[in-house]
Structure formats: C-alpha cells, structure tokens
Structure 1
Amino acid sequence: MKYKISLFLLILFLLNSCQNENEKRLAENQKEAKKKEIIFNNINKGWSFIDEPINEVSEQNEASWKEWREFLKELDGKPKKTIGAFQKKSSAIAKKAMALNNNIPPQFNQPQIRSRISILITKVKMMDLFIHLDKIPDEKVTFLIGEINKELVSLERQMDKIVEKSKIPQEEGESDFLRMLDTARAIPNTIVDPNLPKVE
C-alpha cells in the first residue's frame, strides 16, 4: 500500500512538473515571437534604398552598364511578411553588388570609382552578414542601409565629376605633361655598373 501511494504521488509530481515546463516553454516562445516581430518591424521600417539614379550620368549608365542597371533594379522593391524574405533579398543584393566590379565602362574604370564600388560591396556584404545571424542586430542592419545609400550617392556623384572633367578641353602639351607624371612609365632609377659585361 505504501508503494502505491508513493507511486501515485510520484506520478502526480511528474505530471505537474511537465505542465510547468510546458507553460515555461510557451511563455519563452511568446517572448521570442515578440522579439522577432519587433526586429521584423524595425528592419521593415528602415528598408529603403535609393534605387533611382540621382543624376543624368547615372541614368545614362543605367541604360548602358548592365550590372549597374541590375543592381539598382535589385534594390527596388521591399520584401514582405517574413525575415526570411529580407534575408533572400539581402543575398540577392549582395550578389548583384559583387557583379558591379565586372564590365565597368572604360570611362569609369578609374581608382576613384573602383574604391567606391569596393566600399559599397563591403557595406552590402556586412548588411547581408548581420541579417543572416541567429540574433539579428536590427539597429546595425538599418544603420548599414543608410550607409549603403550614402555610398550610392557618393558613387553617382563621382561618376558625374568624371564626366564633367572629361568635358573640359585640355591645353596644348597637357597630355604630354600628364604622361610624364605617370610613374609607371618613368625610367627606373637604378645604377648600372660599367664593369658588368653587356649582352648585345
């Protein structure tokens, strides 16, 4: 009889503890769902890219530079409903950003443009990294979206500067002077030993 009572009490205790664990799990799940909803809402609010060209040069590039056009097109549109949609969109943007290094128009294939493209790619990759973390730092993601927009404006303004500079006519002899400044074309500054045999 003692065993039956102790067994009965043990079963009651186990059932009660299981019920408490289920309640705790449900409460934790609700907290986690609220956190995810807050993160989703913050990212949803901050997800706003400059997907339209800001100047005439950028518009012309959109027509002629395929990678630039596809990148701006990918920035357009906002994912809906889930964080997973934002993660997919972020990965697609990162992929299109990487493609910007390919087929840069000859006029813009200059260090100023390449460096701005590299910075833009870095910031897009950082955003993609943060949005794929288990605990998404929504403040960092929204901050990086703003930084990406700044880099886009900087890149488009630099393109405009290059076009404006190319419209300025060169003075007589300026091209020769610029060639002389080019260190890659300079004669190496090495001392040649006159005692060494020469090959002819």
Structure 2
Amino acid sequence: MKILYSFAIFCLLFSCQEKQNQTIVVSKPTVSNDSVVLLIDAKWKFSTPSYSTKNHAVMSNWDEWRQLLLLLESKPAQSVHAYKAKIEEVYKQVELLENSIPEGYNNKAVLSRINLLKTHSSQLDMYMELTHLPHKELTNLIGLMQKDIVSIVLQFEEVHTKKSIPKEENEPTKIIVDTDRKATLNAWE
C-alpha cells in the first residue's frame, strides 16, 4: 500500500515538473514601423501658440524660437527616416533656445521649461533610433512637447505680468532675508 501511494505521489510530482519545463511562447502582436509613422503623423499637430499683444514683439524677435516653431509646424514625409531627421533637427534647435533667451526673460522658470522641452525632444530622438518604434511612448512625447511649448509661452506671459507691476518709491528691488539671525538651535530641546 505504501508503495502504491509513493508511486502515485512520484507520478504527480514528475508530471508537474514536465509542465513547468514546457514553455509557451506567446508573441505580442507587433506594430509595424509604417503604422507607427502614421500614428505619429496623426499626432504631429504643432501650431503657433497665440501671444498677447505685450509679448508678441518679444516672441517674434526671438529668432531661435521662430525657427523652432517653423520646424515643428512643417510635417515631414511619412517615412521613418524623414521623422528621424526632423526630430534631430528639432532637438538641435531646442538646444539653441537655452542660450538665446531674450533679455529680461532669462530666469529659472523659463529655463526649466526650456530644459523640459529639451528633455522630451531628446527622449523622442532616442526612441526614434530603436528598430521597433514604441508608438505609445512616441505619441505621448509629442503631446508633452506640445504642452511644453504652451508652457513656455505662458511663462513669458507671467514674466511680463510681473514686470508690469509698478514698484513703490522706497521698495527695494530685492528683498534680502538674513536667515542666520533668525535661525535658532532647537535641536537639543
């Protein structure tokens, strides 16, 4: 009887091991690069953001910005190679923005938004170098770049609004706070 039970357990364990060794290969349905290009082409809808009258002169005189918008507005041919070349051009143009911000608008907020656009265009360039293009990531990054451009324009509006606030006569240009005098050592209490 013991031999029969041990034989049954041995058969069960042996049969379970065979099933574990068998691997089922399930391939994901892959999307061809041509259909990814069609998806990118449908998402590639960059338009010039509207400027207020107060910022129109500043934005229209910023040559690197105008060239970037012209690059983004023109769609390349519907091929992987054309989009790779276009995205490389866009990335190079975004790199030029950082060093050519108009005077008076070169602050941390504007610079951080330009760096965000630079990061997204760099990621887009990186994804385009892959053999199998990930369509979700690419279309997501294009949408993020569209938001980044609007964000830069809105930040220019905010900088201009802050500049237009009148200062009082005795108001200092910078408020200096001496944190050393206000600091207390409460670590031992």
In the alignment, what sits opposite 1:98? 95
2:127 corresponds to: 130
Q: Which amino acid aligns with 1:157?
A: L
Counting matched residue pairs gives 153
Name the SS of the counterpart of 1:108 in structure 2.
Answer: coil
- Structure 1 residues 35 and 118 mapped into 2: Cα distance closer, same or farther (>3 Å)? same
- 1:55 is aligned, of 51, 55, 66, to 51
Question: One-letter code of the match for 2:162?
Answer: K
Question: Radius of gyration: which is bigger?
Answer: 1
| CA offset digits 1:36-79 (Å, max 9, x no partner) | 222121111111223x1322255323321111111111111111
Deviation at 1:179, TM superposition (A): 4.4
Q: Which residue, out of 109, 112, 115, partners 2:109?
A: 112
Partner of 2:148: 151
Q: Secondary structure at the match of 1:105?
A: coil
Please state which structure has a larger fraction of its residues in helix.
Answer: 1
Indicate the percent of aligned positions where both proteins have the same amino acid.
Answer: 29
Q: What is the rounded CA distance, in whole Å, between the counterparts of 1:172 and 1:125 in structure 2?
A: 47
Structure 1 ranges of 4+ moved more than 4 A: none
TM normalised by structure 2 equals: 0.72
Q: Alpha-carbon deviation of 1:182?
A: 9.0
Question: 1: distance between equivalents of 2:126 and 2:178?
Answer: 40
| 1:130–1:136 CA contact under 8 A, matched in 2 | yes
Instruction: Give the Cα separation in 2 of the matches to 1:37 and 1:103.
Output: 37
Q: Which amino acid aligns with 2:77?
A: K
Residue 176 (structure 2) aligns with:
180
SS at match of 2:126: helix
* Alignment-derived partner of residue 39 in structure 2: 42
Structure 1 stretches lacking a partner, 5+ long: 1-30, 187-200
Query: Partners of 1:58 and 1:105 in 2: how far apart?
Result: 11
Indicate conservation of the 8 Å contact 1:67/1:102, yes or no.
Answer: no
Indicate the residue corresponding to 1:70 in structure 2: 67
Give the Cα–Cα distance (whole angstroms) in 1 for the partners of residues 33 and 55 of structure 2.
Answer: 37
Q: Point out where structure 2 has 5 or more consecutive residues left out of the alignment.
A: 1-28, 181-189
Q: Are the structure 2 counterparts of residues 168 and 83 from structure 1 closer, same or farther at C-alpha, using a change threshold of 3 Å?
A: same
Deviations 1:106-136 (A, max 9, x none): 2111111011111111011111111121111
